[in-house]
Amino acid sequence: MSTIPTPAWPEDVPTHPLLVIDYQLLKQRDAAEIERLWEAATKLGFWYLKNHEVDDLAKEMFGLGAEVMALPLEEKMKYEQGDDGDSFGYKKAGGNAVAASGEPDTTEFLNIAKDDALAWPNLVRRAPPGTSYPAPALARMESTVKPFIEKSLEVNNTIMDILNDKLGLKKGRLLEFHSNEEFSGSEARIIRNPPTSNTQRIALGSHTDFGSLSFLHNRQGGLQVLPPGSDTWQYVKPIEGHAICNVGDTLAIFSGGILRSNLHRVVPPPSTQANTVRWSLVFFSRPGNSSVLRALKDESDIIAKAVATSKEGEEGKTFDTGSTAQEWFARRIKNQRLANRKGPETWMASRGTERVQVA
Ligand SMILES: O=C(O)CCC(=O)C(=O)O
Ligand SMILES: [Fe+2]
């Protein structure tokens, strides 16, 4: 899979530009680069990240993904995530709704818990081998998954540390929520989407990400964002060597809406890439399970001001969720699953900070 060259992006397809942020400059805490990151994280909530040092590890992960997804469905289903709101494990194509109508998704994915990868050779979140993760994932946990997760954590933690300081929080506050000492929903996800002749078919429904930061690697297009104030979905063009990073719900909530968790979805790749199997890979950083999701307004004047001036009834309402990170994820995951669907209300119950409802 990773050896088959990806057809070039069709230049006649409109795309939404993202700022390109240089990870090496962020590591040096370059002031101008920090300002550009801040602009990206607050306006759209998406940016490209270059020079991030994870490309080789991402390639290895794609190789692992190809091995896992080539297994018979029956074998993969032994490691299914289940219907109770657990994310780790395998999700078959068609397992989730993509909209209130209950239309099924077309992507299959494997989620591997950060906690399991870091504790390896122990498995601390999933049942023992045989019911935990498919054999190729266990075989490459040490050589591939663990290094990918460790490096992704380094990248996301660097970004989080910078955003923390810009938000006026005490040093290291956001990182406290994301400590390795507590179990969390943080996970690596490998996604496969088969080609389809139906170019309108939604692969992964409109959503905001559940956690704090997402670090995404893809080769083909198909990811779309709904830019603020627009009702037109726009492709994000994949650029070789550039990851795509985005802010999720929990950072939006902690920051009182200053950081933006933007709606996105996945549709089939356009024209030149339409006949290819689409692969993507994400590392999601999520807060420790017991973290209470609310704006940290008593810890930062900047956040307090943002909450005070936010519009009544819109964002303001969602900043005090009354929910822990664990409850937030379980609710969202559980209610996306078609096995749990009662009607459109199940989809509505799966929503996070999404402010615009798109059917
Ligand atoms: O595959 C992609 O490009 C995006 C995947 C995504 O949005 C997700 O898994 O939350
Ligand atoms: Fe997403």
Span 75-91, average pLDDT: 94
Phi, psi of 181 (to 5 degrees): -75, -25
CB 191 less than 6 A from any atom of ligand 1: yes
The residues facing 218 across adjacent strands are 280
Coil/strand/helix, residue 235: strand
What are the start-end ranges of the H helices in the chain? 23-27, 31-43, 55-69, 73-76, 114-119, 135-139, 146-166, 173-177, 249-254, 301-309, 315-318, 325-336, 344-349
> How do the domains of the chain map onto residue ranges?
20-349
CB 218 less than 6 A from any atom of ligand 1: yes
CA of 39 to the centre of ligand 1 (A): 22
Kindly report the CA angle at 248 between 245 and 250, in degrees rounded to 5? 140
CATH of region 20-349 = 2.60.120.330
pLDDT confidence tier of residue 317, bands split at 50, 70 and 90: low
Question: pTM here?
Answer: 0.95
Span 131-153, average pLDDT: 97
Distance CA 59, CA 240 (A): 12
Which of 214, 250, 285 maximizes ligand 1 atoms within 8 Å of its Cβ, making it the mutation to test the pocket?
214
Ligand nearest to the CA of 248: 2
Average confidence score pLDDT of the chain: 92
Distance CA 189, CA 169 (A): 30
158 Cα distance to chain centroid: 17
Position 355 pLDDT exceeds 60: no
Count the Cβ atoms, other than its own, within 10 Å of residue 230: 11
pLDDT confidence tier of residue 1, bands split at 50, 70 and 90: very low
pLDDT confidence tier of residue 275, bands split at 50, 70 and 90: confident
pLDDT confidence tier of residue 198, bands split at 50, 70 and 90: confident
Asked if 63 contacts 2 with a C-beta cutoff of 8 angstroms, the reply is yes
Query: Mind listing the pLDDT tens digit for each residue in 50-72?
Result: 999 999 999 999 999 999 999 99
Q: Which among 356, 290, 282 has a CA at the least distance from the CA of 323?
A: 290
Span 248-264, average pLDDT: 94
Distance CA 71, CA 92 (A): 12
Position 105 pLDDT exceeds 50: yes
CA dihedral 103, 109, 115, 118 (to 10 degrees): -160
Span 3-14, average pLDDT: 82
The per-residue b/e assignment along 88-100, b for 16 or more CB within 10 angstroms, e otherwise, is: bbbbbbebbbbbb
Distance CA 113, CA 33 (A): 31
Distance CA 108, CA 91 (A): 6
pLDDT confidence tier of residue 312, bands split at 50, 70 and 90: low
CB 219 less than 6 A from any atom of ligand 1: no
CA of 264 to the centre of ligand 2 (A): 6
Coil/strand/helix, residue 156: helix
